[in-house]
Structure 1
Amino acid sequence: MYPHLCQLALTTKHPHLCSSFYKKLLGYQDSGERTVRGIAAARIFSCKKVRAQCYWLTGDDPFFQLEIFHFEQPHSTDNTENMLTRGYNMLFIEAPSLDEICQDPQLAPHMRQICRYHDQGTEHLLVRDIDNNVLDIFSNATSHTLTKPTLRGVGATVNDLDREVSHFTQGFGLSESTVPSHFDPQFKRLSEQPQYSGVTQRSKTLVCGGYHLQLTQYNDTGAHHTKAQTDQGVLNIALGIRAYDDFAPLYQSLLDAGYQPLCLPMGDAISNSAYVHSASLSVELVQLPTHIQAMWGFPALEPEPEPEPT
């Protein structure tokens, strides 16, 4: 058992523009949609009631989806201030060419460039998408072998780095990784606010299957309210496993590590999910066997052939 980043959820005020943007940028395809409502959903999103439309996008990874939520009644109308100090807020994307992205007529109108710079052999393009998420799009000497931009990881700002790392390593069993240079956002470049000129940071990166989760703590910044679940921006992530027998012990491990359940686990004898909250980040644990994953917006997989008798 090894948890894999299987879902990245975004909340948007512009579902069709958001979907078109990420399909074009990452080469993803539509893979389904569903309506989200009911008592359980309201508990997950900390609302009295909730109604949203959810759209699924998938690419080459058979156990990953981009989930785009559009809430009919979000808690707030905007989420553009203090984005860097509130939970999940950044996507790391490796690209074969930054120039092609900047000049693409379908992408450029929906990105707001922050800056472009070189650092230790890697070129970075920092932009905000239409919902104010920060995208660190980077390219280096080995990136030219890619045929299209590829999602490499997710970034989040936390109040207590050591505590959050402990949650993920002790609860989910994730391992720490040496922080690569292209997973090291620079606050002075991102903030665009001179009052943060003296801010320092600490970061640690965790391995989530084929992706990375970077957690960053900024020192000497003003405290900001945690964004509401229905605010625009990155909503949460899901870590996935396949085997049914692994779900219950892993969920108990999360509780033992200090995660708080947002509601009781949901599922049956085939698949399950549980929503938990650490000190400042929400995470979904997904247990999903391959033979029914297409029902939940993941690519359909061909069954593995049975071994020939010897």
Structure 2
Amino acid sequence: MFQEECRLAYVMDRLHLLRSRGITSVEVRADEQLAHTQRYTAQVARTVWSTGGCTSRYQDADGVASTDRPAASLAYRRAIRRFDPEPYELRTAAAPAAGVGPVNRPPRGVTRAVSTPTSHPRQTLRDLSRESSMSTTLPTSYRPTSEHPSLCQVAVSVIDLARTERWFREGLGFWPAGGARARMRGPLASVVQGLPRVASTCWWLVGRNEWFQLEMFQFERPLARLMPPDRTPNDIGYSRIGVWVADFDETLIRLARLASPPLTAPVGPPGARRACVRNPDGVFVEIMEDDPLGGAAGSAARATCSVALRSVTLSVPDLARSAAFFDGLGLARSAAALRAPEHESLWGLPGAQTRSAVYQAGDVLVEAVQYLDPVGRDRPADHRISDQGILNIAFGARSRRDHDDLYQRACRAGAVPNSKPRHLPGGGVVYVNDPQQFSVELLWMSAKSDKHWGFSAKPADRRPKADTHAIEQTVRIAAPVQAAWDVITDHDNMASWLGIGSARRIVDGTPGRDGRGSQRLLKLPGTTATEQVVTFEPPTIYRYRVINGSPFVCHQGEISLRADGDETELTWTIRFRPKVVGSGHLLRIGLSVALGRVLRSGLKPHVEIGHATHSGT
């Protein structure tokens, strides 16, 4: 009865997915069926049904034992507690054309890649291997080689992990794929990334690509330095990414709701339009209605995902040196045209004179561009990969042997590694710096490890948060929005409504001295803290982070203002992670009480009295 209940729950979970995503048929992929059978055969060979030395109804005429659960009942329950779509082919009533698919919510998959066979093991033990090898239509896993490596990752350093992830997920349609915190700190992570005492929280996202992830780091150490506000795509460094989307117009609408409208009007005829936006970290993102790769097959498990990453662009000082490096890695020059000269106007460089080389690395195009006019500015002398923006790209292999060969190719092409390659069970990694000091990651990973390292979709709640606690207080102020904005953004006079301590601006920002990048020094009873403004959008919203002296980790705040007639509704949100495990609840209560008191007894009367005095009422 327990076993039947487990199966029923599994079937109901699958039916829920089918209904929510409009799927009409589900079929186990042949490669997953074969893998399941091989796992089953190995497990049952160790059981009493095979080793007991006697015959039973569990064995066929050849002595081959078969049972649907060769492990413990609880293990069986854990294995099928949720339906995982990864091992299946999912089809809708009208199969989408190549490169086109409906917008869908990500699957409710679990971390285990466990499939339920469509036939009884007794029927597949002898036949499945022969049938799969004879078929020419069965799906096969994408397998990059050292001779032709795949670009499997673009990594980004972000200021606010939750905000950036939401932008990619809700705005573009990427699916969550898990995350890590413990693995992204400590001596090994420092050696690999070449950063001192590194500590970060990392989240992954996947799209329709066969083997690719977006990797986002929120660094605690070293703290990510803000992207310069005047950065342009011709400045030296990783410049932009390009994504194909299933619904161009709907994507632009969603991005506009997330405060990322196109920088210019779209360019191109219907069906081949392009637009460019900037994400919350200032990264230029090109939106493509047409697929430059003609609708690459992508992942069968994510066929309904509405987005695929198609390009990453490097603005380089010397195209010949970049081309020599990529040629040395084994990348093939692309026959696909990535863009036309008029597309330069999308990111504010109309008429730009460039030379470029485009390579195909799996189902992603890598573009190296040298801007001849206007010439881009070089990176700061103290640049490090943790600075806000694209930090590196990764080329992947599926075996350690191929990875070793790829690593040797990179070194022969002039790359300098941060360390020797580091290997773990099922994977390995090394960061290298190319001859022009672009960070490039070389990794290898077995297919079984994909689900542990962010290459398979997972529920959004199955990942560690950078900040684990939040408080929010709202106050209504009898004054217009501009009056409240002028008070809360005046760093030097902040102490007048805080009621305790002192405050002063120590670094000027832009636009204006109190704008983005500005820093204020707060001296409060028992502590001194430095806060930095990271978003400044007059007169409705600004965000800040505590960069020094906070009793918390990943301490960030947001103040938003909304006009309501002649009055203002002000909402202040604070997010943080406690340094002492288990102390967050009490700290959240105390901080919430203190913030409410400051807003109602300090800020509100200060703004109202000041406005009345200034207006003469």
Report the TM-score, using the length of structure 1 for normalisation: 0.84
Contact 1:206 1:214 in 2 (8 A): yes
Q: Which deviates more from structure 2 when the two are superposed, residues 1-10 or residues 116-125?
A: 116-125
Question: SS of the residue aligned with 2:379?
Answer: coil
Which letter does structure 2 place at the counterpart of 1:124? R
Residue 288 (structure 1) aligned with residue 440 (structure 2): no
1:251 partnered with 2:399: no
- Point out the more displaced range, 176-185 or 271-280: 176-185
Cα distance 1:110–1:68, how it changes in 2: closer, same or farther (>3 A)? Answer: farther
Counterparts of 1:1-310 in structure 2, within 5 Å, are 1=145, 2-35=148-181, 36-72=184-220, 73-84=222-233, 85-104=235-254, 108-119=257-268, 122-140=272-290, 148-170=306-328, 172-178=329-335, 180-182=337-339, 186-191=343-348, 199-220=352-373, 221-225=375-379, 227-268=383-424, 270-278=426-434, 279-299=436-456
Shift of 1:185: 7.3
User: Does structure 1 conserve the Cα–Cα contact (< 8 Å) formed by 2:342 and 2:351?
Assistant: no
Q: Which has the larger radius of gyration?
A: 2
Structure 2 unaligned blocks of 5 or more: 1-144, 296-303, 458-617
Q: Which amino acid aligns with 1:113?
A: P
Return the alpha-carbon distance in structure 2 between the equivalents of residues 270 and 30 of structure 1. Answer: 22
What is the deviation of 1:189?
4.3
Superposed CA offset, 1:210-244 (max 9, x none):
11011111114153225431111111111111122
Unaligned runs of 5+ in 1: 301-310
Letter in 2 for 1:215: A
RMSD: 2.7
TM (normalized to structure 2)? 0.44
The CA deviation at 1:293 is 2.0
- Give the Å deviation of 1:37: 1.5
Structure 1 contact 25–149 (Cα < 8 Å) conserved: no
Q: Which amino acid aligns with 2:281?
A: D
User: Aligned in 2, Cα 1:241/1:138: closer, same or farther, shift over 3 Å?
Assistant: same
- Greater Cα offset, 115-124 or 90-99: 115-124
Instruction: Determine the C-alpha separation between the residues in 1 that align with 2:158 and 2:164.
Output: 7
> How has the CA–CA distance of structure 1 residues 147 and 68 changed in structure 2, closer, same or farther, with 3 Å as cutoff?
closer
Structure-2 change in CA distance of 1:151 and 1:198 (3 Å): closer
Which protein has greater RCO, CA pairs closer than 8 Å, 6+ apart? 1
Q: Following TM superposition, by how much is the alpha carbon of 1:209 offset from its aligned partner in structure 2, in angstroms?
A: 0.5
CA distance in 2, matches of 1:13, 1:131: 7
Percent identity of the aligned residues? 26
| CA–CA distance in structure 1, aligned partners of residues 359 and 179 of structure 2 | 30
SS at match of 2:440: strand
Q: Matched residues in 1 for 2:245 and 2:210: separation?
A: 20
Letter in 2 for 1:258: G
Cα drift, residue 67 of structure 1: 0.8
The structural deviation recorded for 1:182 is: 3.1
Taking the aligned partners of 1:151 and 1:19, their CA distance within structure 2 comes to 15
For residues 201 and 210 of structure 1, what CA distance do their matches in structure 2 show?
Answer: 24
Q: Bigger shift: 90-99 or 118-127?
A: 118-127
Q: Relative to total residues, which structure has the larger strand share, 1 or 2? A: 1
The count of residues paired between Structure 1 and Structure 2 equals 293
Please state which structure has a larger fraction of its residues in helix: 2
Shift of 1:124: 1.3
